[in-house]
Amino acid sequence: MKIKYFQDTDTLYIEFRTAEVAETKDLDENTLLDVDREGNVCGITIEHARDRADIPHFSYEQIAV
């Protein structure tokens, strides 16, 4: 997974998996979902990320099984 924040456009892109994007779906006017040919989620784009995703605050936690 890769997370990219584009400060100049205040856009957050989260890539869940590296795959060829077959379709981009609008979830709302500021959120786009990328899916592959099988319908698997590849990534999500969030516009106005500072307000909508609390950027730049970010934490990551991996839970052991």
pLDDT for 14 beyond 90: yes
| Domain-embedded: residue 60 | no
Give 12's pLDDT tier (boundaries 50, 70, 90).
Answer: very high
**Containing domain of residue 27, as a range?**
2-52
Which pTM was predicted? Answer: 0.83
| Domain-embedded: residue 62 | no
Copy the structure tokens of residue 18: 């590296």
Which run of H or E residues covers position 49?
Answer: helix 49-52
Q: Report which of 30, 36, 37, 38 is spatially closest to residue 13, judged by C-alpha positions.
A: 30
Copy the structure tokens of residue 40: 């698997």
Q: Give the pLDDT confidence score for residue 62 in this predicted structure.
A: 82
Q: Give the pLDDT confidence score for residue 40 in this predicted structure.
A: 96
Number of compact structural domains in the chain: 1
| Domain-embedded: residue 59 | no
Taking only the tens place, the pLDDT of each residue in 15-51 is: 999 999 999 999 999 999 999 999 999 999 999 998 8
| Domain-embedded: residue 58 | no
| Domain-embedded: residue 37 | yes
Q: In what order do the strands lie in the sheet with 2-6?
A: 2-6, 11-15, 41-47, 31-35, 23-28
Q: Give the pLDDT confidence score for residue 51 in this predicted structure.
A: 86
